[in-house]
Structure formats: C-alpha cells, structure tokens
C-alpha cells in the first residue's frame, strides 16, 4: 500500500487553482449534451419520468403528438426516448385491437 501524499499549503493551492479551471460545458451545444447525461442508463432520469407522466395526460392515440410536444429534437433522437415512443405506439396498437 502506498502512503498518501502530505497536503502541503503549496499542494492545496495547486488543487484550488486546478479546480477553478473545471467549469463544465461552456457552449450551448455542450450544455445541451451534458443535460442528456442522465439518460446514459435511461429509465430513472427526470427527463424520462417527466415524459412518461406527460404522455399519460395526452389522449390514448396521441403518442406522436405527445412526443413532439414534450421532447426536444435532441431528446426525440435519443435511443431511450425513441424506444419509449415505439413501445407506447405498440401498446396503443394492441389496445385498439382489443
């Protein structure tokens, strides 16, 4: 096992300077992309939960209208949302058959 380095005042100051450089995304594209990071695993993101809840407020056959109203173009293109919309379409189709 390795002994952890001693935190000298110089090392603390260097850590502070480096932390100030880390500001996150700066461009609009970078910020939009970072907002989608919660979708990496998908189902538990607040974007997805809001989408599902919003779909429940729309009429039964209005899956595409709900997706257009509730999602940004980037979200509509995301595989998690695309799969959710397709699943909803299939469910509505099955319900109409019954």
The residue that leads in pLDDT, 44 or 6, is: 6
Residues counted in the chain? 98
**How many CB atoms within 10 Å of residue 92?**
15
Task: Give domain status of residue 50, yes or no.
Answer: yes
Task: Give domain status of residue 4, yes or no.
Answer: no
Specify the number of domains making up the chain: 1
Q: Give the pLDDT confidence of 6-42 residue by residue, as tens digits.
A: 889 999 999 999 988 877 888 898 888 887 776 666 6
Tell me the pTM: 0.50
Task: Give domain status of residue 77, yes or no.
Answer: yes
Task: Give domain status of residue 1, yes or no.
Answer: no
Closest of 72, 74, 73, 84 to residue 42, by C-alpha: 84
Domain that holds residue 54: 9-97
Q: Which of 12-16, 46-50, 56-60, 62-66 has the highest mean pLDDT?
A: 12-16
Task: Give domain status of residue 18, yes or no.
Answer: yes
């Amino acid at each position: 096992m390795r002994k952890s380095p001693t935190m000298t005042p110089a090392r603390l100051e260097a850590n502070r300077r480096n932390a100030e450089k880390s500001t996150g995304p700066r461009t609009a594209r970078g910020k939009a992309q970072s907002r989608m990071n919660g979708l990496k695993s998908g189902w538990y993101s607040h974007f997805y939960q809001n989408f599902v809840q919003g779909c429940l407020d729309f009429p039964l056959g209005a899956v595409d209208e709900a997706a257009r109203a509730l999602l940004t173009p980037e979200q509509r293109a995301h595989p998690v949302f695309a799969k959710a919309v397709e699943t909803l379409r299939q469910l509505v189709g099955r319900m109409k058959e019954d």
